[in-house]
Amino acid sequence: MLRLGWFSTGSGKGSLGLMNIIQECIITGHLDAKIEFVFCNREFGEGIGSDEFLNQVLDYDIPLVSLSSKKFTVGNGGGQFSRHRLAFDREVISLLEKYRPDICVMAGYMLIAGSEFNRHYRIINLHPSPIYGPTGTWQEVIWKLIENQAVESGAYIHIVTDELDHGPVISYFSFPIVGQDFEPMWEMINRDTTTQSETLQYDYSQLFSLIREQGLIREKPLLLETIRALADGRITISDDNLVHSNGATGAVCMNEEIEKLMNTKDI
């Protein structure tokens, strides 16, 4: 059984959905794993989304550990969180001392982990961007894709290292953001570039929402299938390197597996 630690800010539906799909598959016996704990850097009362997330953790009866990064920063003199990152990470490590996860998952965790934290845990992270970029939050990534008139989006799971979002990639998916449902929106944007800004902003928001929607429905099966591969021993992580049981090398493209799962009721 694969022992998981789970790190999330829990601020939105995406974070909640990722935890739900893993825990539901564990409960139904479709995933040989256990979430040993959930750590959240928000406490109750800091956001509607995170409150929903925290309540769901409790409903699952998973050990919950919370430490507000916002309150920690204010209580230690304020300023930028980066000034307090090392102290915060050390406090988190102390709070989680009794747990021994095999792998820790960052799914919607909005803090950057420091070097000491990365050395203490073996961590994988879901990053909502094609493997070749752009970087940033999921919102920033989508806007950059639109601005660059990209032809595809995607997401990947990587080993967390000190190089932000650039650790070795374990698995990924990609999907086109041109053709079919997307093409009319691109045409509207190209048509309205010289019209009123309100119209163009609406066109952008429609395309933004569709890209986000299509990415979200694929992120859950990507995380599920990656954790399943780790739990089954098909992929192992050794000193920040991937080892495949079949002798393959490099990251695994999971487009085919994800499309199959999207056509079932398993996600």
pLDDT tens-digit profile of 197-245? 555 565 578 889 999 999 999 999 999 999 999 999 998 887 767 778 7
Predicted confidence at residue 199, as pLDDT, reads 52
Residue 62 within a domain: yes
- Asked whether residue 256 falls in the same domain as residue 143, the answer is yes
- Asked whether residue 1 falls in the same domain as residue 47, the answer is yes
Residue 243 within a domain: yes
Residue 83 within a domain: yes
Residue 245 within a domain: yes
- Asked whether residue 53 falls in the same domain as residue 136, the answer is no
Report the distance separating Cα 160 and Cα 112, nearest Å. Answer: 10
pLDDT tens-digit profile of 19-49? 999 999 999 999 999 999 999 999 999 999 9
Residue 67 within a domain: yes
Report the distance separating Cα 154 and Cα 49, nearest Å. Answer: 24
Predicted confidence at residue 193, as pLDDT, reads 56
- Asked whether residue 179 falls in the same domain as residue 101, the answer is no
Report the distance separating Cα 200 and Cα 73, nearest Å. Answer: 39
CATH number of the CATH domain containing 36: 3.40.50.170
- Asked whether residue 96 falls in the same domain as residue 191, the answer is no
Report the distance separating Cα 251 and Cα 235, nearest Å. Answer: 10
Which alpha helices (DSSP H) does the chain contain, by range?
13-27, 48-59, 69-75, 85-95, 115-120, 138-147, 183-192, 197-232, 255-262
- Residue 54: give the domain boundaries: 1-111
Predicted confidence at residue 202, as pLDDT, reads 56
- Asked whether residue 192 falls in the same domain as residue 244, the answer is yes
Residue 164 within a domain: no
- Asked whether residue 101 falls in the same domain as residue 135, the answer is no
3-state SS class at 8: strand
Total domain count, the chain: 2
pTM of the model: 0.87
- Asked whether residue 99 falls in the same domain as residue 180, the answer is no
Eight-class DSSP state of 264: S
Residue 58 within a domain: yes
- Asked whether residue 94 falls in the same domain as residue 137, the answer is no
Predicted confidence at residue 194, as pLDDT, reads 52
- Asked whether residue 101 falls in the same domain as residue 213, the answer is no
Positions in the chain short of pLDDT 50: 196
Share of the chain above pLDDT 70, in %: 91
Predicted confidence at residue 264, as pLDDT, reads 72
Report the distance separating Cα 197 and Cα 203, nearest Å. Answer: 10
- Asked whether residue 190 falls in the same domain as residue 102, the answer is no
Residue with tokens 């694929």: 218
Residue with tokens 């932000």: 164
Dihedral sign (CA 264, 184, 179, 177): negative
Residue 46 within a domain: yes
- Asked whether residue 96 falls in the same domain as residue 137, the answer is no
